[in-house]
Amino acid sequence: MTERFAGGAISVLFACRDNAGLSLLAEALAHRRAPRLRAFSAGIAPGPVDLTAVECLHAARIPADGLSSKPLEVFALPGAPRIDLLVSLVPSAGF
């Protein structure tokens, strides 16, 4: 496994229930703090983006461009990015 990731980016999917706040924050922070990661986020039942989460990102000067709530299913579609690691942000979500 170490050899596989030695030279390339690792794709990480942060998942929660609604992909409205917590997983979007994780995605944005990963983009900012871990440039070797390709970070994505999704939810079981996507909801509207939490504006407080976006305001927190702006206050911390972390870009929120392109963040949107999306269902987990989009990562199973043909042409979707390959995900190397799924991080469940809600332990009881049943991933």
Q: Over the stretch 41-91, which tens digit does the pLDDT of each residue have? A: 999 999 999 999 999 999 999 999 889 999 999 999 999 999 999 999 987
Domain range list for the chain:
2-89
State how far the Cα of 47 lies from the Cα of 36, in Å rounded to an integer.
Answer: 28
User: How far apart (Å, rounded) are the C-alpha atoms in residues 35 and 15?
Assistant: 19
Residue whose tokens read 């999704």: 42
82 vs 18: CA distance, rounded Å:
21
Q: Which CATH class is domain 2-89?
A: alpha beta
| pLDDT-derived band at 5, boundaries 50, 70, 90 | low
